[in-house]
Structures are given as structure tokens and as C-alpha cells.
Amino acid sequence: MATLLLPVASAQAQSASSEPVPHTAHAALHQVLHLSASAQTDVPQDWLVVNLAVQKEGLQAPAVQRQLNAVLSSALALATPMAQPGGVEVRTGEMNVSPRYGRDGKVNGWFGSAQLVLQGRDAEQITTLAARLPELTVSQIDWRLSPEQKSAAQARIQAEAVERFQNKAQSLTRQFGFAGYTLREVRVSAQEAEDGVVMPRMTMAQMDAPSPMPVPAVAGKSRVVVNVSGSIVLR
């Protein structure tokens, strides 16, 4: 997530006086303290991402690509009518065709792979749809937070993180023997630590085997953390 920088000008910077600044004022600017605080919450994951993949090989690259295109076109024809914004979203993923080399270092064939991605909040519909695409194998299942769920969690704990930063600033100011402080700059950022179900990518042999039923998709929780860091000028 993008980091927000909010510089806060000090009283000295706002002054338009042309008179020389006393040495004590310069010294005060050097009493800068850097600190940070954070708040976190665990949120149920509500966004399922299922990666489906197919691999083909042959003697000619165009032939391999035609096979991949045929599988994807067939899958899209079945999956697209079932798509609904937020519930089940369908998109193609990576596709590549690469040469295969023999022991003599010469090209002796080609292999390629292609992906189809199903994602959304309707886990039951997504896993059911994945099972209806026999030419594609489930290569990865991942749970995460939807953008709306993540934003709502950040909004809930942001005020808590700011309050902790302020309390820490006040406490450290007193401990260092100063009467107060001026906020110099502050950065607010957020991150999500996922704890979903992730399947490792499969080998060519595994993907050539008959496609099993999709692994049951059980959601976990994601930890959303809001960090507040910055510096203050002690006075």
C-alpha cells in the first residue's frame, strides 16, 4: 500500500522574519526524535483465488500454442457465462511457449503452459466451476481479503495506531525532560499478512494425470497492520 507523507512545518519554518535566528532556536531544531507505533486486527478472509493451469508439448511451437488456445477457449466459453462481479470473476493468466533442448544442446521440441484464474467471494461457485473444467488442473488456491474488507479493517484500526503514536510521543517527551513537542513529519502505511491455503505448483507429470476434484477451500484469517512512524521536535 502506498505510504502517505504528511510534513508538518515547524513554527520557525513558518516565520517570515528576516532577523537572525538565535543560536538556541537552531539548537531546538536538532532535538529530533524518531518513533513509530502500530495497531493490528485479524480479519476473516473473504476472497478466494483459484489458479487453473494446462501444459502441452510437441515438436512445433505453433502446434503447442494452438493446443493451449483451444483449451483456454473451451474453458472461457464455459466459465464466462457464470461470471458475476465480485462473486465469480474470470480472467486468463500467464501463457508461454518455450523450446525443449536435448543432451546435444539442440532444440528437440517445445512445451507451453497457460493459466485461467477464478476469483471472488462465492467460494462454492468457484470450486464447482473449477471442477467442471477437466482439461485444466488446480495448481494453486489462495485466500485473501477483498479490497473492501481490507479498507474497512484499516479504517477501524487507523485511529488506534495514531493514538498510540501520540501517547508514545508524549511519554517520551516527558522522559527526556522536555515540556512538549512539535510534530515534524508522519507516515501512515498498512499491510496485510495472509494466512490462506496455498497449494504448491504441480509438475508436468502431475498435470498430465486425470484432474481430481478441487481441494476444499477453507478460509482463514489475514492480519491487517497499520503503522504510524515519523519524527517530532522536542521543545
> What's the rounded Cα separation, in Å, for the pair 174 and 102?
73
pLDDT, position 192:
85
Q: What does the pLDDT average to over 63-71?
A: 94
pLDDT, position 193:
78
At 223-232, the pLDDT tens digits run 999 999 999 9
Looking at the structure, do residues 76 and 122 belong to the same domain, yes or no? yes
Residue 40 and residue 223 in contact, taking contact as beta carbons nearer than 8 Å: yes
Q: What does the pLDDT average to over 171-186?
A: 93
Number of neighbouring beta carbons within 10 Å of residue 43: 19
Looking at the structure, do residues 151 and 230 belong to the same domain, yes or no? yes
Q: What does the pLDDT average to over 205-220?
A: 56
SS3 38: strand
Residue 211 has pLDDT above 60, yes or no: no
Residue 150 and residue 224 in contact, taking contact as beta carbons nearer than 8 Å: yes
DSSP letter string, 76-97: HHHHGGG-BTTTBEEEEEEEEE
Looking at the structure, do residues 159 and 128 belong to the same domain, yes or no? no
Looking at the structure, do residues 77 and 23 belong to the same domain, yes or no? no
Average pLDDT, the chain: 81
Looking at the structure, do residues 172 and 86 belong to the same domain, yes or no? no
Looking at the structure, do residues 139 and 174 belong to the same domain, yes or no? no
Q: Which of 125, 144, 163 is the last residue of a domain?
A: 144
Looking at the structure, do residues 76 and 4 belong to the same domain, yes or no? no
Residue 86 has pLDDT above 60, yes or no: yes
Least confident of 34-48, 94-108, 206-220: 206-220
pLDDT, position 203:
37
Give how many domains the chain has, as a whole number: 2
Q: What is the CATH number of the domain that holds 71?
A: 3.30.70.2970
Looking at the structure, do residues 178 and 116 belong to the same domain, yes or no? no
Residue 220 to residues 47, 60, 125, 167: CA-CA distances in angstroms?
A: 10, 44, 18, 33
Looking at the structure, do residues 84 and 154 belong to the same domain, yes or no? no
pLDDT, position 194:
63
Q: What does the pLDDT average to over 186-190?
A: 93
Higher pLDDT, 196 or 231: 231
Half-sphere exposure of 150 (CA within 13 A, CB side): 18
Confidence of residue 9 (pLDDT cuts 50, 70, 90): very low
Q: What does the pLDDT average to over 71-89?
A: 93
Looking at the structure, do residues 137 and 103 belong to the same domain, yes or no? yes
> What's the rounded Cα separation, in Å, for the pair 95 and 40?
38
Q: Which of 121, 144, 167 is the last residue of a domain?
A: 144
Q: Which of 128, 144, 160 is the last residue of a domain?
A: 144
pLDDT, position 24:
45
At 12-27, the pLDDT tens digits run 333 333 344 444 444 4
Q: What does the pLDDT average to over 132-161?
A: 91
Looking at the structure, do residues 157 and 131 belong to the same domain, yes or no? no
Looking at the structure, do residues 37 and 55 belong to the same domain, yes or no? no
Give me the domain span that covers residue 3. Answer: 1-46+145-235
Cell numbers placing 64: 503447442
201 secondary structure, DSSP code: P
Residue 69 to residues 93, 171, 189: CA-CA distances in angstroms?
A: 12, 64, 42
Residue 154 has pLDDT above 70, yes or no: yes
